Amino acid sequence: MIVLSHKKECCGCTACLSVCPRQCIRMETDEEGFLYPVTDPEHCTDCGLCERVCPCLHPGVPQEPIQCYASIHRKEEIRLESSSGGLFTALAEETIRNGGVVFGARFDREFRVMHDYTETLEGLSAFRGSKYVQSDMRNSFRQAEQFLKEGREVLFSGVSCQIAGLKAFLRRDYQHLITLDILCHGVASPAVWASFLHPYKTAQEPERLTQVTFRDKQNGWNQYDFCLRYSEKEIRFNRKTNPYMAGYFANLYLRPSCHACPRRGFSAGSDLTLGDCWGIEKRPPQSYCADDKGVSLVMAHTPKGVERMRQIHASVCYTPIDYRPMESYNPAIRHSPVPHPEREQFFIRWRQQEAFGQIVASLTRPTLTKRLETMCTPLLKALGIKGFTKYLRK
Ligand SMILES: Cc1cc2nc3c(=O)[nH]c(=O)nc-3n(C[C@H](O)[C@H](O)[C@H](O)COP(=O)(O)OP(=O)(O)OC[C@H]3O[C@@H](n4cnc5c(N)ncnc54)[C@H](O)[C@@H]3O)c2cc1C
């Protein structure tokens, strides 16, 4: 029986619940808004399966990709709707063309994030774009297994702990399963997300909210512009004015397990990993980022992953690149984020229903040292003075 001694020990992937032969595990929301498994002791026979499939109890071994590429989808409109270079769509289109099924994270009508599947090309648009919130896996592991048993090709996308959970749940290799993990800084609390969004969906906004985009590219790929679209208007935030993303990047409300991620370093066992190809402007093929519409970093870990990249060559431009230099631009590959020192304070004030923007602004305000550093660094650099920052920090 799964007994959690610390919240860090569960990533919420639902492998335990999905594998339970007596179906006596359910997910319950905790006081931070994350889902955790709860076992019904009356029906549990202590068969141990739930523990055997848990990706947190059995962390993976970090490795390096066998092949790495910089890549972009050939269709500009797809890249604009995607967070990086649109490679998810290219890979998913191939599966749909093969008569297969694609799983990924989408918004429901209330803009909650959940895993779902599609069997059509049109259906892929809901999965495009990063949602910086933990997705509710619901019944997706069992649904994927059902499709695999029917002989259908399945492309399953998710963050690394979700892929590790799926693979452990399946307990066997399927030749027609392609697993795709999305590089992940960490996943945020669904309840915090809902509380941030609430005022934009209700009485204050008489129009219906129709679209939420975390990475709008109107002003460029790495701007993290956040956009809420209504029938007649839009509300736009940039990285600095968006309290939700400010709190996300400051690690105020990530899932506790993300701070000790059991599946960093490509240890999920996936065929492919996708991320942002940060640093591409400094090395060939720089032409991919000339239009600032996003470039994907694609890492293949299995011959199946390499083969799938070859199969989609008509829809994408791709160039093999050295993996090592790219790793240094993307801390999420190797390192778990450190929790914000005031994380607990955030949740206390959030539960007291203090205004969202106010809590985040007060907890993420830069210290005097940091502000001095930001103000003086360009001038000191120009004057060739070194060591001032170190002096300040002392
Ligand atoms: C929470 C989160 C953190 C991320 N952190 C980093 C990072 O630190 N560094 C980096 O390089 N890249 C990170 N990414 C990945 C990056 O933002 C792009 O999603 C990725 O490069 C794929 O882009 P794309 O253009 O190929 O396709 P897109 O269309 O942008 O990708 C869509 C894919 O992402 C999946 N997805 C979207 N939201 C979620 C979610 N909440 N949970 C699970 N899967 C989801 C969809 O199912 C689909 O498979 C993160 C993504 C998420 C969701």
The tens-digit pLDDT sequence of the chain (394 residues) is: 888 889 999 999 999 999 999 999 999 999 999 999 999 999 999 999 999 999 999 988 999 999 999 999 999 999 999 999 999 999 999 999 999 999 999 999 999 999 999 999 999 999 999 999 999 999 999 999 999 999 999 999 999 999 999 999 999 999 999 999 999 999 999 999 999 999 998 766 668 899 999 999 999 998 999 999 998 899 999 988 999 999 999 999 999 999 999 999 999 999 999 999 999 999 888 899 999 999 999 999 999 999 999 999 999 999 999 999 999 999 999 999 999 999 999 999 999 999 999 999 999 987 767 667 777 777 777 777 777 666 656 5
Q: For the chain, how big is the Rg over CA atoms in Å?
A: 22
**Interatomic CA distance for residues 180 and 268, integer angstroms:** 10
pLDDT of residue 204: 64
Sheet holding 234-237, edge to edge: 209-216, 225-230, 234-237
Under DSSP, the state recorded for 73 is: E
Q: What angle do helix axes 303-311 and 87-97 make, rounded to 10 degrees?
A: 90
**Alpha-carbon dihedral sign for residues 253, 256, 262, 268:** negative
Question: Which mutation among 106, 135, 160, 182 tests ligand 1's pocket best, with the greatest number of atoms within 8 A of CB?
Answer: 182
- CB of 82 within 6 A of ligand 1: the answer is yes
Which of helix, strand or coil describes residue 362?
helix
Query: What distance in angstroms lies between residue 13's CA and the mean position of ligand 1's atoms?
Result: 16
Residue with the nearest Cα to atom 23 of ligand 1? Answer: 84
Q: Check if the beta carbon of residue 96 is closer than 8 Å to that of residue 124.
A: yes
Residue with the nearest Cα to atom 34 of ligand 1? Answer: 130
345 token code pair: 């304070």
pLDDT of residue 240: 85
Query: What distance in angstroms lies between residue 29's CA and the mean position of ligand 1's atoms?
Result: 24
CA geometry: angle 249, 5, 25, nearest 5 deg: 90
pTM metric for this prediction: 0.94
Q: Check if the beta carbon of residue 127 is closer than 8 Å to that of residue 102.
A: yes
Q: Check if the beta carbon of residue 301 is closer than 8 Å to that of residue 65.
A: yes
Domains detected in the chain: 7-52 (3.30.70.20), 59-354 (no CATH), 366-393 (no CATH)
Q: How many CA atoms lie within 13 A of 153 on its CB side?
A: 15
Q: Check if the beta carbon of residue 158 is closer than 8 Å to that of residue 187.
A: no
Say if strands 177-182 and 154-159 run parallel, antiparallel, or are unpaired.
parallel
